[in-house]
Structure 1
Amino acid sequence: MRLNFCRPLRHRGQWGYVFTFLLANAFGFQALAQQSTPDSTISRGEGIYSVLKKFENLKFSGYIQPQFQLAQSAGAPNFAGGNFAENSNNRFMLRRGRILLGYTRYFKDELPSVSFVFQFDVTERGVQIRDFFGKIYENKFSKFHLTTGMYPRPFGFEVNYPSAIREAPERGRMSQILFRTERDLGVMLSFEPQRKEDALKNLKIEAGLFNGTGVAAPTDYDSHKDFIGRVSLKPTSIAKKLTLSGSVSHYNGGMRQFGKQIYRLTQTSGGPAFQVDSSESNIGKIATRRYYGADAQLKILNKWGTTELRGEFITGRQPGLATTSEVPLTEPTTDQVMLVNNLPFSRKVALPVYHRKFNGAYFYLVQDIKTNRDQIVVKYDWYDPNQEVKNHEIGRPGSNTTEADIKFSTLGGGYIHNFTNNVRFTVWYDWVKNRSTQLPKYASDYKDNILTIRVMYRF
């Protein structure tokens, strides 16, 4: 559903054509009612054809994902669709309800010249924008295009793998924390040859500048722009029954430090601990947000069907807060109430910024059962938000460490049955494990395993 999503729109779903046909007929019947001469069949046909020509590049698609979930304990925090309510361990929910409108204008030789995509998410939780971007292609060399608007960040594989075809119900914990809602506002230049005979047709290079706060943020609160770059190898046959693809990615950005208190992990006599730096010069500096990532996908054709192996590893530096390793969506401040002349007075105070070194990864095994109508999937992922502190060192008195420093790993697995191209059934179970710490809530493994049963309808 990123940039390359516009090209399949030319062939997606019959419902777009049905809508276009009905719309054209509506215009045709209106024209018929206004005709004063009875033998105007040819002109009416030409009118319908002209309307069809106007709408032939306008396509509609969408899907909904109603599901039932059962958690191991009430109020379980999770990355499988959001935390459960305090007194609930099961729920029905509409995880996603997407409606997409896409338009592509083609140049000669059926090469795109301009396109746009609108995508909305409609659920019981409200209506949100997911994609809102346009692309301009250069048609002299047919190698470059420019993208502006709101679209998925060009980093790694899982962030850009569409929810409509992804085997696991959700992206991993690492992907969700580093790239919340996947999308951001920005501008991007891409090298992606469009001609099939081009020697570099399997190479794709993307580079862009983004707000960094993501679409879940109400605005860009610090004016600092983040750079994201990726070099990708599209699926390429490397042997008779082997297809390989992959990419390397880099994220170079940061967030403004609004206050003077900065925490960094140092080694003390009692063990690793966050130490505060309260220099006035910290105010206004950019806290480093830097990622390095690599991913690969290997498809193997065999007598059992297609076997696919996927993996991705990301490491780097992440600015966050005391209780979360996620970059804040809004200006990191809190209201402080104080007495002035015996009267309560509220003012905004900047929250301390915590600097952490992280790493994380995921690995997929997707096995078709003869055909892709039935699939068995196994996925393992981990996210370690703070490599410099381990297990029982977390929560040690005086260390200033919190649950934001705990390493989590998830082993997930499930069965997928595609009734048709339009209906998919998924049963999935996540075994979520956290390292034991000195924090009371996470002194042992928290009971937060999740069962998900989902039906997806798409057109």
Structure 2
Amino acid sequence: MKTYVVLGVFALFILIGGQSYAQVLKNDGASQSGSSGRLLTDMIDTATQMGRNMLSMYNKFGQLGFSGYIQSQYQVSEIKGNPNPYQGGEWGPYTSNRFRLRRGRLRADFTHNTSEGKPSVYFLFQFDGTERGVNIRDFWGRYYENKWELFHFSAGMMARPFGFEILYSSTYREAPERGRMSQVLMGTERDLGMMVSMNPRSKKTKLKWLMVDAGIYNGQGLTGTSEYDNLKDVIVRVSTKQRNIGSSNVKIAGGVSALVGGITNLNKQIYTMKEVGGQWNMTAGDVADTNHMGEKAARQYFGADARVVIPNHKGVTEFRGEYITGTQSGTLSTSVTPGTYPVASNGMNQPLAVRRFDGAYFYFLQHLGSWSHQLVGKFDWYDPNKKVKGTDIGADRGLTAADIRYNAWGAGYVYYINPHLKLTFWYEKPTNEKTRLSGFEKDVKDGIFTFRTQFSF
């Protein structure tokens, strides 16, 4: 309790004593109501502060630009050894508060234009450094065709074009972390692959509002060091840029996404849900009749997202939502997409488990009479196994904690002190369904409060 009081006093001090930069932030705040330049697959958008910073570097050094940001945070857990890893990573068994350097990014961009000033080649690399080490996040190149000014081609370690929250850059995201569903399905947003995109650039085109991205990827993302089977993920996203509704100032945008892929099962057994005597059980394939070694365990996701932005006198009201459903392959103990093939403690390859899932999130965002102050509310859920719920889930049916549905409520306040510093105060409380599994007969205490500072240049 004392920790919350201290943080509350600190927040009050900042709000009273901090200088207002509302006018400076207006352009950047306005860009919050759009997605251009804010998604990991976007081109540089000079309407944002980061885009302007990059452009000034280009002008100074020719064609090379640098940017970066640091997210340092302090967190307080509801209990020691919090079992919730989706708000910044695993907790130590005797820890209920911690400082973390959540992200520390340094990014370099190179661009080459034609003699007519049109984009030709673009190259980007980005590193992430925290107290846990340094890793690459992006390392890819892009080529623009300029005959029709419609397409560009990308290859390397880059963001996968699926959904909105997965692509929404952590630089701009209002909540500290992506939701549980996004982290389970794609533990990292990036993967090795190739992508072709249709993003009309000609001023004369009537399709400037439409974007199509299609790519093929290894599948395991940055959670694994290399491809471990021959199967690939094919991903397609069709989306729209923000458009006004009729003659009003209200703007809408959205998209639909699909992923078709899988994992090669490297065990003679594979687990699937089967109905026996009117109840659903997680059951292994009968190895006496079929050897499931080498069988494809499906990963198929289908999603739709939408955003509505309503301008206010100073700021905007925004509603944002996304729904994803499909088939996910993990193991009996987890539905998380594996970065390497799962191996048991005895060194043997584990059998995969296939489940039908769905999940969604909904945001409410409201500026509080100024571009500097923003209130955020969020609700999300992830149901890893749609065939069972509540007390249906028990060990006698072959089910585990990996089959439990979670709802999560989150709320916070974001203070944009100036274009290079923002503060986030956030509390999120997940709620698991009550089951017959040991330890999950009631809701687990796993709420987390986060105070984050983000410095950027």
TM-score (norm 1): 0.87
Alpha-carbon distance in 2 for matches of 1:106, 1:268: 63
The answer to whether the Cα contact below 8 Å between 2:161 and 2:237 also exists between their aligned partners in 1 is yes
Distance apart, 1:109 and its partner CA: 4.7
Alpha-carbon distance in 2 for matches of 1:257, 1:230: 27
CA deviation string 1:270-316 (max 9, x = no partner):
73211110334311111111011000011011346310110000000
- Note closer, same or farther for the CA distance 1:14–1:306 as it changes in structure 2 (3 Å cut): closer
Q: What SS is found at the alignment partner of 1:392?
A: helix
1:408 aligns with 2:406: yes
CA deviation string 1:340-396 (max 9, x = no partner):
xxxxxxxx422111110000000000101123210000010000000001111112x
1:309 equivalent in structure 2:
319
Distance apart, 1:17 and its partner CA: 7.8
Q: Which runs of 5+ in 2 are unaligned?
A: 1-38
2:303 equivalent in structure 1:
293
- Note closer, same or farther for the CA distance 1:368–1:390 as it changes in structure 2 (3 Å cut): same
Q: What SS is found at the alignment partner of 1:272?
A: strand
Q: What SS is found at the alignment partner of 2:418?
A: coil
CA deviation string 1:33-85 (max 9, x = no partner):
xxxxxxxxxxxxxxxxxxx5xx3221111100111000101111220001211
- Note closer, same or farther for the CA distance 1:215–1:143 as it changes in structure 2 (3 Å cut): same
The answer to whether the Cα contact below 8 Å between 2:41 and 2:161 also exists between their aligned partners in 1 is no
Q: 2:148 is matched with which residue: 141, 144, 166?
A: 141
1:283 equivalent in structure 2:
293
Alpha-carbon distance in 2 for matches of 1:137, 1:160: 21
Q: What SS is found at the alignment partner of 1:441?
A: coil
CA deviation string 1:10-40 (max 9, x = no partner):
973776688789xxxxxxxxxxxxxxxxxxx
CA deviation string 1:132-153 (max 9, x = no partner):
1110010111100100001111
2:32 equivalent in structure 1:
none
- Note closer, same or farther for the CA distance 1:3–1:56 as it changes in structure 2 (3 Å cut): farther
Alignment of 1:53-92 (within 5 A): 55-78=61-84, 79-92=86-99
1:268 equivalent in structure 2:
276
Distance apart, 1:334 and its partner CA: 2.8
1:390 equivalent in structure 2:
389
- Note closer, same or farther for the CA distance 1:180–1:201 as it changes in structure 2 (3 Å cut): same
Question: Which amino acid is 1:286 matched to?
Answer: K
1:38 equivalent in structure 2:
none
The answer to whether the Cα contact below 8 Å between 2:145 and 2:151 also exists between their aligned partners in 1 is yes
CA deviation string 1:425-458 (max 9, x = no partner):
1100001100011112111110000000011100
Q: What SS is found at the alignment partner of 2:94?
A: coil
- Note closer, same or farther for the CA distance 1:14–1:361 as it changes in structure 2 (3 Å cut): closer
1:345 equivalent in structure 2:
none
1:342 equivalent in structure 2:
none
Question: Which amino acid is 2:376 matched to?
Answer: V
- Note closer, same or farther for the CA distance 1:444–1:104 as it changes in structure 2 (3 Å cut): same
1:2 aligns with 2:40: yes
Alpha-carbon distance in 2 for matches of 1:152, 1:359: 22
Alignment of 1:33-432 (within 5 A): 55-78=61-84, 79-239=86-246, 240-269=248-277, 271-279=279-287, 280-303=290-313, 305-334=315-344, 336=346, 348-395=347-394, 397-432=395-430
The answer to whether the Cα contact below 8 Å between 2:181 and 2:382 also exists between their aligned partners in 1 is yes
- Note closer, same or farther for the CA distance 1:102–1:412 as it changes in structure 2 (3 Å cut): same
Alpha-carbon distance in 2 for matches of 1:310, 1:243: 12
The answer to whether the Cα contact below 8 Å between 1:3 and 1:135 also exists between their aligned partners in 2 is no
Alpha-carbon distance in 2 for matches of 1:392, 1:94: 39
Alpha-carbon distance in 2 for matches of 1:405, 1:14: 46
Question: Which amino acid is 1:66 matched to?
Answer: S
The answer to whether the Cα contact below 8 Å between 1:10 and 1:59 also exists between their aligned partners in 2 is no
- Note closer, same or farther for the CA distance 1:12–1:274 as it changes in structure 2 (3 Å cut): closer
Question: Which amino acid is 1:317 matched to?
Answer: T
Q: What SS is found at the alignment partner of 1:95?
A: strand
Higher strand content, 1 or 2: 1
Alpha-carbon distance in 1 for matches of 2:433, 2:53: 49
Deviates more, 1:362-371 or 1:10-19: 10-19
Question: Which amino acid is 2:304 matched to?
Answer: A
Question: Which amino acid is 2:338 matched to?
Answer: P
Instruction: Quote the sequence identity (%).
Output: 43
Question: Which amino acid is 1:350 matched to?
Answer: N
TM-score (norm 2): 0.87
Q: What SS is found at the alignment partner of 1:166?
A: coil
Distance apart, 1:244 and its partner CA: 0.8
- Note closer, same or farther for the CA distance 1:301–1:432 as it changes in structure 2 (3 Å cut): same
Alpha-carbon distance in 2 for matches of 1:20, 1:259: 53
The answer to whether the Cα contact below 8 Å between 1:333 and 1:349 also exists between their aligned partners in 2 is yes
1:27 equivalent in structure 2:
none
When Rg is computed on C-alpha atoms for both structures, the one with the higher figure is: 1
CA deviation string 1:386-434 (max 9, x = no partner):
0001111112x42110000000011100011111011001100001100
Superposition CA RMSD, Å: 1.9
Distance apart, 1:107 and its partner CA: 2.4
| Structure with more contact order per residue of length (Cα contacts < 8 Å, sep ≥ 6) | 2
The answer to whether the Cα contact below 8 Å between 2:151 and 2:200 also exists between their aligned partners in 1 is yes
The answer to whether the Cα contact below 8 Å between 1:68 and 1:90 also exists between their aligned partners in 2 is yes
Question: Which amino acid is 1:356 matched to?
Answer: R
The answer to whether the Cα contact below 8 Å between 1:260 and 1:278 also exists between their aligned partners in 2 is no
The answer to whether the Cα contact below 8 Å between 2:314 and 2:371 also exists between their aligned partners in 1 is no
- Note closer, same or farther for the CA distance 1:278–1:424 as it changes in structure 2 (3 Å cut): same
The answer to whether the Cα contact below 8 Å between 2:210 and 2:239 also exists between their aligned partners in 1 is yes
Alpha-carbon distance in 2 for matches of 1:211, 1:227: 9
Deviates more, 1:163-172 or 1:365-374: 365-374
Distance apart, 1:118 and its partner CA: 0.5
- Note closer, same or farther for the CA distance 1:362–1:259 as it changes in structure 2 (3 Å cut): same
Alpha-carbon distance in 2 for matches of 1:10, 1:247: 22
